[in-house]
Structure 1
């Protein structure tokens, strides 16, 4: 049974809802993408934060840079293997980093909210914990690992076996 057509007001309301949902979805995707770019741009800034060149880098940061290059090479290899374009592969990498940053900011906000509810100190800028730095670098590497494509992006329609030509038996 078919439903009757919407009235003009219903069509306009439906169109407005679709437009606003598309706008909000686009803004969310743009925010996640820009956050991912900030994460990737912020890594060299975090590593070279004291401005002393290569003498500033700790062993953990050397390891991070080596693993980052290797995982980036892996990402490019999988992008080529699954025929993902350079821009789609880069976008995938940036989106995964943005999702990590969103999750991290949500957790940070939750922790600050809990601390403020229980009256604990929320002075986060005075504590520099090397474990947190290494954890942050490790999470960036994890997202780089997970961002590699796992299948081809081109979707093919399922093949109906009745339409596939069958080889005819030839009697010799």
Structure 2
């Protein structure tokens, strides 16, 4: 699953497809597949160093997927980061951060809320000083005339302050 060279990280199509299918099965009420088997498969994927990159990619960029799929990817990412963020490669940490910031202004409020939760976990684990771009992103969102950006930044800020 790992990217090669120094180009920015990109998901492999097969890996992306498999993870999306597992997430769809996981949230499908009509899924005949055993939920614990699906969970085990997702846990297996989490052993790959760039699994969290796939999750943030699905959350941030898989606009062809349902909001529910994207949200589940985000929630799984948030939970994974709680245990793995501090031991992740700095390049993976940076990729995740860079994908989250544009999502502060996502059109869907569920996506914005999920992103706020993930940002809060990253700040808890890495500190606000470990993410200098974050404060500037908040300022830009709050200065914007776009309600989604302003709400996304306020939501994330309030979550960080509550923690």
- TM-score bracket, normalised by the shorter chain, equals under 0.3
Query: What TM-score, normalized to structure 2?
Result: 0.23
Structure showing the higher helix proportion among its residues = 2
Quick one: higher RCO (CA 8 Å, sep 6+), 1 or 2? 1
- TM-score with structure 1 setting the length: 0.22
